[in-house]
Amino acid sequence: MTNRSAVFYDAPMETPSIERFEIAVNTPAGRLTTTLDVPTGFVPITSIVPVTRRLGEEMSKLEELRSRETGHSISCRMGCAACCRMLVPLSPPEAFALRDYIVQLPEDRQTALRQKIADSKATLASHDLLHRLQEVADATSPIPDEELDPINRAYYALRHPCPFLENEICSIYEARPAACRELLVTSPAALCDNFVENPVTPLPVSVRIGTVLGLLWGSVTDSSPRLIPLPLALGWAEQHHDEARRTWSASNLIDLLLDKMWRFLSHEFQARGQSPQT
């Protein structure tokens, strides 16, 4: 189903060497061939977050192409942010990457974002939701869907905008989590006013990148996979900052990542009644 090979190439003296992985993978929407550039040697988990998200986006493009071939195009547009009122889950690697992104922003911007997150938490607390989200972030074993579902519904019922949403535009667009990148719809945008009541048609997702990164983190730290609600992600990452400093062989991380991804793809092929081509 997949091929992977690695090529080293020289980088300028002042930059770390890069290992280029050439990937070929069959997805339910078609075959994806691409390259991943990852720093060589031992790297923190955040090093592979951008390339993993890009893989997810390339898989989304295949889904979009397939969808267009059947007469359905994506209706999501800039400034249309109905989905930014849903609860977004982050894997620990993405929470660390979000923190890294925020702390490199100018001081006044960081302060503004931290204030927005604090305001968001205060609103959630006033609706008796903050402690439920905190329980999700702190859980040491996977939470079953039947327990998560009422939390997601209660959150969505508030139509509480994401703390990073400004004038209906994502203010951290290049650093937004994988879950935000994956939610695209082919039904009319007006239906997104109510995801629960209206027949919204999401674009199929071959691989949920946040879940895969969460599984990878669980593997390398020998911990239970967890997903952290977005309003708590910065605080969670700061609380676990020591873990973010750990490093692993980049090559091993990529091997593990692809293994998790392939497992996810196998389930997805099965769920769609397709068989992976060889």
Site for ligand SF4, rule CB under 6 A: 81, 84, 88, 162, 164-165, 170, 172, 176, 180
Q: Which is nearer to ligand SF4, 32 or 165 (CB)?
A: 165
DSSP result, 162-187: PTTEETTEETTGGG--HHHHH--B-S
The whole-angstrom separation of Cα 179 and Cα 86 is 11
User: 2, 24 in Cβ contact below 8 A?
Assistant: yes
Report the nearest approach of ligand SF4 to the CB of residue 119 (Å): 14
Q: Which is nearer to ligand SF4, 204 or 210 (CB)?
A: 210
Q: Which is nearer to ligand SF4, 25 or 53 (CB)?
A: 53
Report the nearest approach of ligand SF4 to the CB of residue 1 (Å): 31
Report the nearest approach of ligand SF4 to the CB of residue 161 (Å): 8
Report the nearest approach of ligand SF4 to the CB of residue 147 (Å): 22
Q: At what angle do helices 92-103 and 230-239 cross, to 10 degrees?
A: 80
Q: Which is nearer to ligand SF4, 44 or 231 (CB)?
A: 231
Report the nearest approach of ligand SF4 to the CB of residue 112 (Å): 14
Q: Which is nearer to ligand SF4, 81 or 261 (CB)?
A: 81
Q: Which is nearer to ligand SF4, 133 or 254 (CB)?
A: 133
Q: In terms of Cα–Cα distance, which of 140, 101, 159 is closest to 225? A: 140
Q: Which is nearer to ligand SF4, 88 or 257 (CB)?
A: 88
Q: In terms of Cα–Cα distance, which of 36, 27, 21 is closest to 62? A: 27
User: 48, 25 in Cβ contact below 8 A?
Assistant: no
| CA dihedral over 175, 43, 7, 55, signed as positive or negative | negative
> Which residues lie below 8 Å from residue 125, measured CB to CB, with a gap of 6+?
131
Report the nearest approach of ligand SF4 to the CB of residue 23 (Å): 26
Task: Assign 27 to helix, strand or coil.
Answer: strand
Please report which helix (H) or strand (E) contains residue 72, including its range: none
The whole-angstrom separation of Cα 155 and Cα 144 is 17
Report the nearest approach of ligand SF4 to the CB of residue 168 (Å): 9
